[in-house]
Amino acid sequence: MNSSSPLALHPTIFVIFGITGDLASGKLLPALLALYSKRMLPPNFAIIGFSRRSFSREEFRDYIREHLNVKPGKYHEEDIKHFLDHMSYEQGFFDNMPAYERLAERLRSIDDRWGQCSNKLFHLSVPPNMYEGILNNLAHSKLTVPCDDLSGWTRILIEKPFGNDIETARSLDKLLEVLFEEKQIFRIDHYLAKEALQNILAFRFMNQIFEPMWRREYIDKIHIKLMESEGVHSRGDFYDRIGALKDVGQNHLLQMLALVTMDEPRSYAADDIRRERAKVLKSLRRISTSELLKTAAKGQYDGYRSETGVSPQSKTETYIRLQASIGSSRWRGVPIYLESGKAMAESKTEIDVYFKKSKLKILDKKLEKDQSSSVSAAERQNILTFRIQPDEGIKIKFFLKKPGYEFAIDAKTLKFKYADVPSYADLPDDYERLIHDAFIGDQTLFASTEEIMASWKFVTPILANWDRLPLKSYQKGTKEIE
Active site residues: 252
On the CB side of 298, CA atoms within 13 Å amount to 20
Which 3 state secondary structure label does DSSP give 109?
A: helix
Contact 481, 319 (CB under 8 A): yes
Give the CB-side neighbour count of residue 175, counting CA atoms within 13 A: 20
3-class secondary structure, 82: helix
Distance between CA atoms of 343 and 319, rounded to whole angstroms? 9
Cis omega (within 30 of 0) on the bond before 161? yes
| Helix spans in 299-394 (H) | 361-369
- Edge-first strand order for the sheet with 409-417 is 409-417, 393-401, 383-389, 348-355, 219-227, 336-341, 319-324, 297-301, 471-474
Please give the torsion angle defined by the CA atoms of residues 358, 364, 368 and 369, in that order, rounded to the nearest 10 degrees. -150
d(CA 239, CA 234): 9
**Rounded distance, CA 254 to CA 277, Å?**
10
Please choose, from the candidates 345, 156, 160, 184, the residue with its C-alpha nearest in 3D space to the C-alpha of residue 254: 160
Mapping DSSP to helix (H, G, I), strand (E, B) and coil, where does residue 324 land? strand
The rounded distance, in Å, linking the Cα atoms of 198 and 445 is: 9
From the centroid of its chain, how far is CA 273?
16
CB neighbour list of residue 292: distance below 8 Å, 6 or more residues apart: 462, 465, 468, 469
Which neighbouring-strand residues pair with 299? Answer: 319, 472
**CB neighbour burial string for 98-115, b if at least 16 within 10 angstroms, e if fewer:** ebbbbbbebbeebbeeee
SS3 at position 337? strand
| Backbone angle region of 309, left / alpha / beta, with phi > 0 → left and psi within -120 to 50 → alpha | left
Sheet arrangement for strand 446-447: 87-91, 45-51, 12-17, 119-124, 154-159, 185-188, 446-447
